[in-house]
Amino acid sequence: MGFESGSLSFHAFYLSRDFVPGDVEAFAARPLPPLKTLTGDQPLHGWAGPLHALDQDLTEAHCWRGDWLWFAHVTARKAVPPSYLRATLLAELEVERRARDVEILPRAAKTEVRERVTEALLRDAQPAFASMECAIDLPRRRLLSTALSDNALQLLCPFFRETTGVMPVLCCPESAAYRLRGLDANALEPLPLTPNPAVQPPAQPVLGEEFLTWLFHRWEKESAVFDLEGQRCGLLFEGPLTFSADDAPGCHETLLRNGTPLDTPELGTALWNGKRLRRAKLTLTRADWVVTATVDAQDFAFRSLKVVEPKGDAAPAPGAEPDALQGLPSLNAPGRQPAAPEPRRKLGVDERLDRAAFYLDAFLALYAQFLALREDPAAWRAALAPLHAWVRARAGQA
């Protein structure tokens, strides 16, 4: 699963109370029902252990990893491959047409054949699974979940509340603004991020896109380092970049990818015409932790988050010279034995989740710095002056 290996894609949620490892018993009380109870196209859903969709071991010993409770929400339904369903349906319709000796089947007959074929195929169909991994961050009162689509969110959140009595609140620009600064996003004055006089302010503030644009300007013109809990951290922007503005004339979205999207003149053109940075690849670092993800500013979705695994301790390769002798001529063979590359250490799931939590903490810390400016009208107007100058220079309007 994604939390254990490969890249991570997730939303974060706020929880209103503390959770402890023993809370996994509530999830164990609502497991995925037996597959033999599947009927028709009605799905089953419930909680499963973290290893796979049929993992029924929902115990503290199995799901508690470091500071995390790790489990999954699983949906099972009988599904017929669409191509097979269509071919079978067309064959049955032709049989029905010939039996009735008509040129075209009536609509009611087509509906009856479709229902009969679908019911028959579903009766013998194998179940298909859809799984959403979940991990509760015990110290921070947060939930990370791979639920990214609206349908997935509408399925996960109510079921989590039914199980635990707690409704997860999606960490988005508006909810994060309230949690971090007690700020009502709708009460802020909308101002354009471009000095272009032809661009009108948006109808409502778009905090996420404003933040990512402001952060991109700060990274390029001011500083790529910041403090998080007394430690120095760094940030780096990479392409592809997506700029958007629903109220912009003509094209509402500009995608810059391949080549050098950070240096292309189209970037300045997008900013000048009122578009804001909506999606970018952002790397955050602390000491030897390096974490990269594509961030969506509209809803704070983190996609394809990758963790650089640390170098591990390894014994010298057979035949390799000790460190003290490297660089000296070898007595056994001409030249010097090349040093074996140091292998990477595979991270445990709790270590990977710790790095994801660091990424989220660092991202929200930068967002809090932006909100401190944004909530003060005078400070925000002062911050817009260098940003407008940057946009003008980027667009070649200086």
Give the whole-angstrom CA distance, residue 42 versus residue 44.
Answer: 7
Q: pLDDT band at 127, cuts 50/70/90?
A: confident
- Contact partners, residue 17, CB within 8 Å, separation at least 6: 141, 166
Beta bridge partners of 303: 294
Residue ranges of alpha helices (H) inside the chain are 24-28, 60-63, 82-100, 107-124, 150-164, 173-181, 207-221, 265-272, 349-374, 377-394
Q: pLDDT band at 215, cuts 50/70/90?
A: very high
Give the whole-angstrom CA distance, residue 389 versus residue 87.
Answer: 61
On the question of pLDDT at 246 being above 60, the answer is: yes
On the question of pLDDT at 121 being above 50, the answer is: yes
pLDDT given for residue 312 in this prediction: 62
The dihedrals phi and psi of 107, each to the nearest 5 degrees, come to -60, -40
Q: pLDDT band at 340, cuts 50/70/90?
A: low
- Contact partners, residue 139, CB within 8 Å, separation at least 6: 67
What is the reported pTM?
0.85
Give the whole-angstrom CA distance, residue 134 versus residue 10.
Answer: 9
pLDDT given for residue 64 in this prediction: 96
On the question of pLDDT at 337 being above 90, the answer is: no
Give the whole-angstrom CA distance, residue 35 versus residue 52.
Answer: 15
Q: For the range 175-181, what are the long-range contacts, defined as Cβ-Cβ under 8 Å and sequence gap of 24 or more?
A: 175/14, 176/300, 176/364, 176/367, 177/207, 177/367, 177/371, 179/14, 180/364, 180/367, 180/368, 180/371, 181/368, 181/371, 181/372, 181/375
The angle subtended at Cα 40 by Cα 37 and Cα 41, nearest 5°, is 105
Mean of the pLDDT values across residues 48-52? 93
